[in-house]
Structure 1
Amino acid sequence: MENATKEEYKIQSFDAKTQQLLKTALKDPSSVDLEKVANLIVDQSLKDQVFSKEAGRICFTIVQAEGRQAGSNVFRRNLLNRLQQEYKTREETRSRSVQEWVCYVTFICNIFDYLKVDCLVMQLHRIGDQLEKMNVQRMDELFFLLRDGFFLQNELSSLARLLLLEILEFRASGWRLSDSAQKYYYSEVTD
């Protein structure tokens, strides 16, 4: 399984300097201007529908890396502020360019696909075992739905599927991951 940090992102539409900035942001977010990175990603997403799909994955990876590295959310805050600005002018955007509007909606859907699944998985990691002790039947129902989502929802991104698979395995192994599973899901690859 390839970790998102080692996957190649489709950033060829940027000039060489911007590509390097994005690669650095993916590996070491605290070493770059994250507001600039957020704006670059949003700007390109509004112009390029192919990139707008990829951008959700890139943003998710930067958010995760920043959280692990610095425990902060500068990138997420700047990204959400910029998306909120774009949302405020949505009618103007839609009337000016349907293509730009489609790119914006595609980007938003990809961003929140990752964030919703990530939030659920994070909470289940923290308190899933306690919730299960309180009501096993409800947890069984939830995990049946998660399993079905993993197998049956074709529109889920590969990263969202990976998160669902990881939490299914986490619960199945007694709310712990074996060392090999930990390495499989969370290993970092260096250049």
Structure 2
Amino acid sequence: MESSLLDRLGFDAKDKTFVCQALDGIRSGDRQPDLNRLMDVIIRRGISNHRYSSDTAKLCALFIKYEKESAKELEFRKHILNTLHREYTQIRSTDGHECELDWVNFVSLLGSIFHHIRIKEEPLHALVVPLIDSLVVLASARYSSGNQECVQCIVRQLQLHGKALERLNESKMAELFCSIRELFLRAETDQLSRLMLLEVIELRANQWVLSQSANAYYYCDDNMNS
């Protein structure tokens, strides 16, 4: 499992060796790796491309599992949260043409970590507000107007995590959906993006369950290709 996970993440030889040694050290309890360097290697890989987000989160969950089994003081989770906060601050300060993609990659990783790392069957509550706030940023006119990739990212995260986020912070979700409705009404928002946004608006209105008729409407070929 570990080998295939690292292969899919595509680390270079040096970083792969470092991550493997860190896994072995935490699993055996013999040595604690340099967590700052480890977080830099893992999280930066995760935010380099949204395709790596799920496997990055699974790798982080594996480190936490081994750390807990070794009965060592739990430090890895704290370092994940600190590194994510640092990356969030850095992206917020970015003003370049690639910023939309940076947000898509970051939000995808944040959502994957929210999904895969759990405490007593619950997601990390510390990530609820950051994830919702990041979706609000992504839904802003600066990023999502005329950008289907940003809209797809918002909709995907809400399809996966909307119900849990609503349960954990209803007021912040209300703020997010104000931004989503504004995005839906913007003149720059194309028809396909509006269709995706309408789906998630209706999904929330229906207690995060898409009815059979709504599913048929949103996923019929005529609507997706019009």
- TM-score category (smaller protein): 0.5 to 0.7
Aligned residues: 121
- Counterpart of 2:107 (choices 105, 108, 122) is 105
* Residue 52 to residue 8, structure 1, CA distance change in 2 (3 Å): closer
C-alpha separation between the residues in 2 aligned to 1:62 and 1:155? Answer: 24
* Residue 8 to residue 32, structure 1, CA distance change in 2 (3 Å): same
* Residue 100 to residue 14, structure 1, CA distance change in 2 (3 Å): same
Equivalent residue number for residue 196 of structure 2: none
Bigger shift: 68-77 or 79-88?
A: 68-77
Is 1:35 aligned with 2:39?
A: no
Structure 2 counterpart of 1:57, which letter? K
C-alpha separation between the residues in 1 aligned to 2:54 and 2:73? Answer: 25
- Counterpart of 2:19 (choices 15, 22, 44) is 22
Structure 1 counterpart of 2:10, which letter? S
Bigger shift: 28-37 or 102-111?
A: 28-37
- Alignment of structure 1 residues 110-129 onto 2, 5 Å: 110-116=112-118, 118-120=119-121
Equivalent residue number for residue 49 of structure 2: 48
- Alignment of structure 1 residues 85-100 onto 2, 5 Å: 85-93=86-94, 96-100=98-102
C-alpha separation between the residues in 2 aligned to 1:67 and 1:6? Answer: 21
Is 1:13 aligned with 2:10?
A: yes
CA-to-aligned-CA distance 1:103-157 (integer Å, 9 cap, x gap): 11111111111223x4327xxxxxxxxxxxxxxxxxxxxxxxxxxxxxxxx959x
CA shift, 1:40, in A, is: 0.9
What is the DSSP-based 3-state SS (H/G/I as helix, E as strand, rest coil) of the residue aligned with 1:14? Answer: coil
Q: Which runs of 5 or more structure 2 residues have no equivalent in the other structure?
A: 123-158, 162-226
Equivalent residue number for residue 169 of structure 2: none
Q: Which has the higher contact order (CA 8 A, sep 6+)?
A: 1
CA shift, 1:93, in A, is: 4.1
Q: Which has the larger radius of gyration?
A: 2
CA-to-aligned-CA distance 1:155-183 (integer Å, 9 cap, x gap): 59xxxxxxxxxxxxxxxxxxxxxxxxxxx
Q: Which runs of 5 or more structure 1 residues have no equivalent in the other structure?
A: 122-153, 157-191
Structure 2 counterpart of 1:36, which letter? R
TM-score for both structures, normalised by structure 1: 0.53
CA-to-aligned-CA distance 1:20-76 (integer Å, 9 cap, x gap): 111222332234212211111111222122222210000000111111114222222
TM-score for both structures, normalised by structure 2: 0.46
CA shift, 1:81, in A, is: 0.6
CA contact (8 A) 1:5 1:27 kept: no
Moved over 6 A (4+): none
Matched-pair identity in %: 22
Provide the aligned C-alpha RMSD in A: 2.8
